[in-house]
């Protein structure tokens, strides 16, 4: 049985490449010290040097930090505080962090574009707590809106022909009720 770990190699040009390494669980004579071996499906990531050490312009890391998008200093500070508190073992601290973030984004009337950027960020860093807060706020903003209003909020251009629009109205009349 083997274990697979994906490492990310970052180069100075800020290009990112992925290298999949396999670790053997059982001792083998060809690899007795459990040194990882490159997956043969992985493309050649470097030049033909024989050194197994990363080149100076590369860093190897298992966790890649994704910076918080530029969403303004206040929201950034609140999100950073939320991320710190949500990792707490105390449920009261985590609940207070969720409530503080919710209150802030409602009180400050954060633009939907910013909410969507932060929801995408939360997805990228796999932070479900952060994602839940931002996605719920977006859902609250479009709740009980008419199709035309939702199109306006998201900047969606109606590219239906009149016939297609009528077919959609007939198929989903509840969405067009006044």
pLDDT tens profile 73-87 = 999 999 999 988 988
User: Per the domain annotation, does 67 fall within a domain?
Assistant: no
Distances, alpha carbon 170 to alpha carbons 22, 32, 60, 163, 178, in Å: 55, 68, 56, 11, 15
User: Per the domain annotation, does 68 fall within a domain?
Assistant: no
Are 54 and 96 within one domain?
no
pLDDT of the residue at 65: 73
User: What mean pLDDT, rounded, does the chain reach?
Assistant: 73
User: What is the average pLDDT across 109-138?
Assistant: 91
User: Per the domain annotation, does 166 fall within a domain?
Assistant: yes
- Taking the C-alpha atoms of residue 23 and residue 52, their distance in angstroms, rounded to an integer, is 16
φ/ψ of 61, rounded to 5, equals: -150, 145
Are 38 and 80 within one domain?
no
pLDDT of the residue at 178: 67
Domain boundary among 35, 61, 87: 61
Q: How many structural domains does the chain have?
A: 3
How confident is the model over 89-98, as pLDDT tens digits? 999 999 999 9
Domain boundary among 10, 35, 61: 61
Are 51 and 86 within one domain?
no
Which residues span the domain enclosing 168?
Answer: 147-176
- Taking the C-alpha atoms of residue 45 and residue 50, their distance in angstroms, rounded to an integer, is 13
Between 36 and 118, where is the model more confident? 118
Distances, alpha carbon 35 to alpha carbons 26, 32, 38, 58, in Å: 12, 8, 10, 20
**pLDDT over 60 (residue 38):** no
User: Per the domain annotation, does 15 fall within a domain?
Assistant: yes
How confident is the model over 39-74, as pLDDT tens digits? 444 344 444 444 455 444 443 344 567 788 888 899
What pTM was computed for the model? 0.57
Are 79 and 108 within one domain?
yes
Percent of the chain exceeding pLDDT 90 equals 37
Are 53 and 101 within one domain?
no
Are 89 and 130 within one domain?
yes
What are the tokens at 18?
């992925």
- What ranges in the chain are assigned the alpha helix state H? 73-86, 91-107, 112-124, 128-142, 147-154, 162-171
Are 161 and 134 within one domain?
no
Are 131 and 152 within one domain?
no
């Amino acid at each position: 049985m083997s274990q697979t770990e994906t490492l990310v190699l970052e180069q100075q040009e800020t290009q990112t490449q992925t290298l999949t390494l396999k670790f053997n669980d059982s001792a083998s004579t060809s690899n007795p010290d459990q040194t990882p071996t490159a997956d043969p499906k992985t493309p050649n990531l470097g030049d033909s040097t024989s050194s197994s050490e990363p080149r100076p312009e590369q860093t190897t890391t298992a966790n890649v930090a994704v910076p918080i998008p530029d969403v303004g200093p206040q929201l950034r500070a609140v999100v950073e505080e939320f991320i710190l508190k949500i990792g707490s073992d105390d449920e009261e601290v985590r609940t207070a962090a969720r409530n503080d973030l919710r209150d802030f984004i409602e009180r400050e009337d954060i633009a939907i574009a910013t909410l969507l950027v932060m929801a995408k960020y939360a997805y990228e860093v796999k932070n479900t707590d952060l994602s839940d807060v931002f996605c719920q706020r977006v859902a609250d903003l479009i709740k009980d809106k008419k199709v035309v209003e939702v199109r306006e909020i998201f900047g969606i251009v109606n590219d239906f022909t009149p016939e297609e629009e009528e077919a959609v109205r007939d198929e989903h009349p509840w969405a067009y009720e006044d």
